[in-house]
Amino acid sequence: MERTSLIHLAVATQGWKRETVIALLWLAAGALLLPILIYLCGISFLGSYEGGGLGSTFGTVWRGLGAGSPASWVVVAGPYVLFQLLRVLIYVWKFGSTAD
């Protein structure tokens, strides 16, 4: 399924289906984009890794998920958790000030 069709599906659906699509999109971003960004930032600031590359970064994250590593779970689930935190903050900001 294309990225645009997934976004349209998330907008068009409601309830748990919409939340499932949103969660899958953010978890995919955490699983696919964040290891790339971590690798690129690492080589930019620290230089090249001895015996390591982008593939080993992905391998470390994926093996950590299987082993229950909190760091790997934070990397993968981080974008979704931050998105949910943003939703809560927007809700509180919009509706919290009306309680007089």
99 pLDDT band, cuts 50/70/90, is low
Q: Does 2 map to a domain?
A: no
> Tens of pLDDT along 47-70?
887 878 899 989 999 999 999 999
Q: Does 4 map to a domain?
A: no
In whole angstroms, how far apart are CA 22 and each of 54, 63, 87? 27, 25, 12
DSSP H helices in the chain: 3-12, 15-46, 54-67, 70-96
Domain of residue 38: give its range.
Answer: 23-96
> Tens of pLDDT along 12-58?
667 778 888 889 999 999 999 999 999 999 999 988 878 788 999 89
- The pair of structure tokens assigned to 80 is 């979704």
> Tens of pLDDT along 69-90?
999 999 999 999 999 999 889 8
- How many structural domains comprise the chain? 1
Q: Does 42 map to a domain?
A: yes
pTM of the full predicted structure? 0.72
DSSP symbols for 29-50: HHHHHHHHHHHHHHHHHH---T
